[in-house]
């Protein structure tokens, strides 16, 4: 069984080979199964096979044909392995031959992971077009910014046309309103032509509620575990073999058929698997097989809230082999340092001392007691390289999960926004920007859905209000179902050419270019990182080194000028960047050079970068 299932034809779904369509459906609960041709209404009987599979080879399906399945003479259902839902989550599925796209990226080589400068975006709100073509129209802008990897929030088919994407219910299907599977292939191809890698956000811990027909087919879910968002995926309970293969093949499809360069797997701490081989490790093994076969490099990135290096350690060291992970703790420490509220999960963080620890140790909590969790938490990540950690000052979660969806542009001063950017882009980790932060976009990024089920839409609306009931003094939570909430979350593309927005954009461009240029910033050598904080001054000195070049970053998070001493070395320190320079609308530039051990005045809410060459 495993040998058969490891082939592309082994997974559930429909594949086209010449004039023949091969159908393979996993429906172990069914006593009979038919495929219904949407145009003619004809029903074709499927043949029962081992392990709950049903199969058929037919010449009555071709690229573009619509179809549904009928199990035990019940109502027609869409295909759980559908790659296209042109009429939405409740409509018929569409046959799509993913091999017909004429790729032009034969010479493409994935960007080395340690070189990634990531830009997270949401397809629906990134441009007014709200689709993949809209993203493609902005690729030159992203290249000029210095971005070489975009991370696209989930595109798996969801209800309606407005959703963050984490309520997707067809993991293989590309959202029809975004451009469908052919549109995504076109976007990836275009990105590669511009030198941009594509990271796709995927969700393997749950499936959304509306349009979720998986329970009609088989044992996709388990009651052994719970997630905050719905039934847990069955990765280790009875009937899990086909479920594991379903999701493994989904990973391989994105890499093989869409040429996606990396996946970011959402909240893998909610992926429960106590079998002998964790599903993430098996995914890694299968991806390694694909890489060996094609010669194309692909990365697996995870969001994980456990501070557990087992997820990112190599498989030969009893790890799952994930290539990198998001580090929320860096964000939390930075946000408190910048003056953010210490509420909720931020209550665990004390600001600048924690930020200095994250620069040095990646995890802030690596074995000590966490008041928020009321237990000891985390392990040390001493031996994990810098490329295994992704840091940011904003992302979709940290902005959109606020009641009002305020960005840093609304919460912090212009100078502090620049300082936060400097804190991220000088870190010995992979930096990630959230769309619009590079020009201080004022539009909020709010939570939005467009469920077509009125009861479900109302439940989401009431749930959102209840979640923020304690924050009533700040006003009402925006209606997540209202189209206005979605429209008001879109980027305003007239702004990057105006006033302070243009200044901020040029600031980001210069800072990203400097990170790429200076070896001491570009190389992620964690063994030569030193971070020291002065909590009373609210200052931090970060030291980085690569071979002979040393860089020192002087950060002042206070509202007063602070005098900081450069390392006492024989060499002269030469200024490379000054966020307080008047060209960035700052108050005053520092001197261009200083001797080792010399004290340098650092303007309020600003930073300086020096090197010793």
Q: What is the CATH number of the domain that holds 8?
A: 2.60.40.10
Name the domain boundary from 29, 64, 98: 98
Identify the band that residue 470 occupies on the pLDDT scale cut at 50, 70 and 90.
low
Instruction: Give the mean model confidence (pLDDT) for residues 90-105.
Output: 97
How far apart, in whole angstroms, are the C-alpha atoms of residue 311 and residue 301? 10
**With contact defined as beta carbons under 8 Å apart, do 419 and 607 qualify?**
yes
Instruction: Give the mean model confidence (pLDDT) for residues 201-226.
Output: 96
Q: Is 265 flagged in the annotation as binding?
A: yes
- 51 found inside a domain: yes
Q: Of the ranges 204-208, 212-216, 342-346, 551-555, which one carries the lowest mean pLDDT score?
A: 342-346
Identify the band that residue 473 occupies on the pLDDT scale cut at 50, 70 and 90.
low
pLDDT tens digit sequence for 12-42: 899 998 899 999 999 999 999 999 999 999 9
pLDDT at 100 over 50: yes
- 170 found inside a domain: no
**Beta bridge mates, 447:** none
Q: What's the pLDDT score for residue 1? A: 31
Q: What's the pLDDT score for residue 193? A: 98
**With contact defined as beta carbons under 8 Å apart, do 332 and 401 qualify?**
no
Strands 20-26 and 53-58 come out as antiparallel
- 94 found inside a domain: yes
Q: Is 397 flagged in the annotation as binding?
A: yes
Q: What's the pLDDT score for residue 9? A: 41
How far apart, in whole angstroms, are the C-alpha atoms of residue 69 and residue 492? 43
Among 445, 448, 453, 516, smallest CA distance to 481 is for 448
Q: Of the ranges 255-259, 347-351, 416-420, 425-429, which one carries the lowest mean pLDDT score?
A: 347-351
Identify the band that residue 468 occupies on the pLDDT scale cut at 50, 70 and 90.
confident
Catalytic residue among 249, 303, 354, 415: 303
Our CA angle for 435, 157, 328, nearest 5°, is: 40
- Does the annotation mark 94 as catalytic? no
- 143 found inside a domain: no
**With contact defined as beta carbons under 8 Å apart, do 415 and 604 qualify?**
yes
How much of the chain exceeds pLDDT 70, in percent?
Answer: 98
pLDDT at 266 over 80: yes
Identify the band that residue 471 occupies on the pLDDT scale cut at 50, 70 and 90.
low
Name the domain boundary from 56, 75, 98: 98
Q: What is the DSSP string of 22-81?
A: EEEEE-TT-S-EEEEETTT--EEEPEE-GGGEEEEEESS--TT-EEEEEETT---B--TT
- 59 found inside a domain: yes
pLDDT tens digit sequence for 374-400: 999 999 999 999 999 999 999 999 999
Q: Which helix (H) or strand (E) holds 465?
A: helix 454-467
Q: Is 400 flagged in the annotation as binding?
A: yes
Q: What's the pLDDT score for residue 115? A: 98
- 333 found inside a domain: no
How far apart, in whole angstroms, are the C-alpha atoms of residue 177 and residue 54? 31
Q: How far is CA 320 from CA 199, 243, 277, 323, 479, in A?
A: 19, 19, 9, 9, 40
DSSP 523: S
Identify the band that residue 542 occupies on the pLDDT scale cut at 50, 70 and 90.
very high
List the domain range (segments joined by +) for residue 542.
529-611
Q: Is 492 flagged in the annotation as binding?
A: no
Instruction: Give the mean model confidence (pLDDT) for residues 116-123.
Output: 98
**With contact defined as beta carbons under 8 Å apart, do 25 and 12 qualify?**
yes
pLDDT tens digit sequence for 495-506: 999 999 999 999
Q: Is 262 flagged in the annotation as binding?
A: no
- Does the annotation mark 249 as catalytic? no
Which pTM was predicted? Answer: 0.96
Q: Which helix (H) or strand (E) holds 221?
A: strand 221-227
How far apart, in whole angstroms, are the C-alpha atoms of residue 135 and residue 190? 10
Name the domain boundary from 52, 79, 98: 98
Q: Is 266 flagged in the annotation as binding?
A: yes
Q: In what order do the strands lie in the sheet with 20-26?
A: 13-17, 20-26, 53-58, 47-48
Q: Is 523 flagged in the annotation as binding?
A: no
Identify the band that residue 4 occupies on the pLDDT scale cut at 50, 70 and 90.
very low
Instruction: Give the mean model confidence (pLDDT) for residues 163-189.
Output: 97
- 200 found inside a domain: no
How much of the chain exceeds pLDDT 90, in percent?
Answer: 92
Q: Please report the sign of the dihedral spanned by the C-alpha atoms of residue 80, residue 85, residue 87, residue 88.
A: positive
Q: Is 268 flagged in the annotation as binding?
A: yes
Three-class SS of residue 231? strand
Instruction: Give the mean model confidence (pLDDT) for residues 208-228.
Output: 95
Q: How many domains does the chain have?
A: 2
- CATH number of the CATH domain containing 596: 2.60.40.1180
Q: Is 479 flagged in the annotation as binding?
A: no
Q: Is 269 flagged in the annotation as binding?
A: yes
Q: Is 198 flagged in the annotation as binding?
A: no
Catalytic residue among 120, 266, 308, 605: 266
Q: Is 328 flagged in the annotation as binding?
A: yes
- 85 found inside a domain: yes
What is the rounded average pLDDT for all residues in the chain? 95
pLDDT at 2 over 90: no
Q: Is 398 flagged in the annotation as binding?
A: yes
């Amino acid at each position: 069984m495993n040998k058969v299932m490891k082939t592309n034809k082994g997974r559930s779904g429909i594949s086209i080979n010449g004039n023949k369509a091969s159908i393979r459906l996993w429906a172990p609960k069914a006593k009979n199964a038919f495929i219904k041709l949407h145009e003619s209404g004809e029903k074709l009987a499927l043949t029962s096979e081992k392990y709950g599979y049903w199969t058929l080879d037919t010449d009555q399906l071709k690229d573009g044909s619509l179809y549904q399945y009928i199990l035990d003479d019940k109502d027609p259902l869409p295909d759980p392995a559908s790659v296209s839902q042109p009429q939405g989550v409740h409509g018929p599925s569409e046959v799509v031959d993913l091999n017909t796209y004429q790729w032009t990226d034969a010479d493409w080589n994935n960007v080395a992971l340690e070189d990634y400068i990531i830009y997270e975006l949401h397809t629906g709100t990134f441009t007014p077009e709200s689709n993949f073509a809209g993203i493609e129209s902005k690729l030159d802008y992203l290249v000029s910014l210095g971005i070489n990897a975009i991370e696209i929030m989930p595109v798996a088919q969801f209800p309606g046309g407005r959703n963050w994407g984490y309520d997707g219910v067809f993991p293989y299907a590309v959202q029809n309103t975004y451009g469908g599977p052919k549109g995504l292939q076109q976007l990836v191809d275009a990105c590669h032509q511009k030198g941009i890698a594509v990271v796709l956000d995927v969700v393997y811990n749950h499936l959304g509620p509306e349009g979720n027909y998986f329970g009609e087919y088989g044992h996709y879910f388990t009651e052994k575990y719970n997630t905050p968002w719905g039934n847990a995926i069955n990765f280790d309970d009875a009937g899990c073999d086909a479920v594991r293969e379903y999701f493994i093949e989904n990973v391989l499809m994105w890499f093989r058929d869409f040429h996606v360069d990396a996946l970011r797997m959402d909240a893998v701490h909610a992926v429960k698997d106590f079998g002998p081989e964790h599903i993430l490790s098996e995914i890694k093994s299968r991806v390694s097989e694909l890489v060996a076969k094609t010669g194309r490099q692909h990365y697996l990135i995870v969001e994980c809230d456990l501070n557990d290096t087992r997820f990112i350690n190599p498989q030969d060291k009893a790890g799952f082999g994930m290539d990198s992970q998001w580090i929320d703790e860096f964000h939390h420490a930075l946000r408190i340092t910048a003056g953010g509220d210490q509420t909720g999960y931020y209550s665990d963080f004390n600001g600048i001392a924690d930020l200095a620890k994250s620069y040095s140790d990646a995890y802030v909590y690596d074995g000590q007691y966490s008041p928020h969790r009321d237990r000891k938490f985390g392990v040390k990540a001493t031996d994990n390289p810098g490329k295994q950690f992704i840091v940011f000052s904003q992302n979709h979660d940290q902005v959109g999960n606020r009641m009002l969806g305020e960005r840093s542009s609304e919460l912090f001063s212009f100078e502090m926004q620049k300082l936060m950017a400097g804190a991220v882009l000088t870190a010995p980790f992979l930096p990630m920007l959230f769309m619009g932060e590079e020009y201080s976009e004022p539009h909020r990024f709010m939570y939005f859905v467009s469920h077509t089920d009125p009861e479900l839409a109302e439940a989401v609306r009431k749930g959102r209000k209840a979640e923020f009931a304690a924050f009533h003094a700040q006003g009402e939570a925006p209606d997540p179902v209202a189209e206005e909430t979605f429209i008001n979350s879109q980027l305003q593309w007239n702004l990057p050419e105006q006033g302070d927005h243009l200044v901020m954009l040029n600031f980001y461009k210069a800072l990203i270019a400097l990170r790429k240029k200076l070896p001491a910033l570009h190389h992620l050598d964690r063994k030569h990182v030193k971070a020291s904080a002065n909590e009373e001054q609210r200052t931090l000195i970060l030291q980085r080194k690569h071979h002979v070049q040393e860089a020192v970053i002087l950060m002042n998070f206070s509202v007063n000028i602070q005098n900081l001493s450069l390392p006492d070395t024989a060499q002269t320190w030469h200024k490379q960047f000054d966020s307080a320079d008047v060209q960035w609308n700052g108050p005053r530039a520092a001197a261009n050079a200083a001797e080792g051990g010399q004290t340098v005045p650092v303007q309020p809410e600003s930073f300086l970068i020096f090197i010793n060459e």
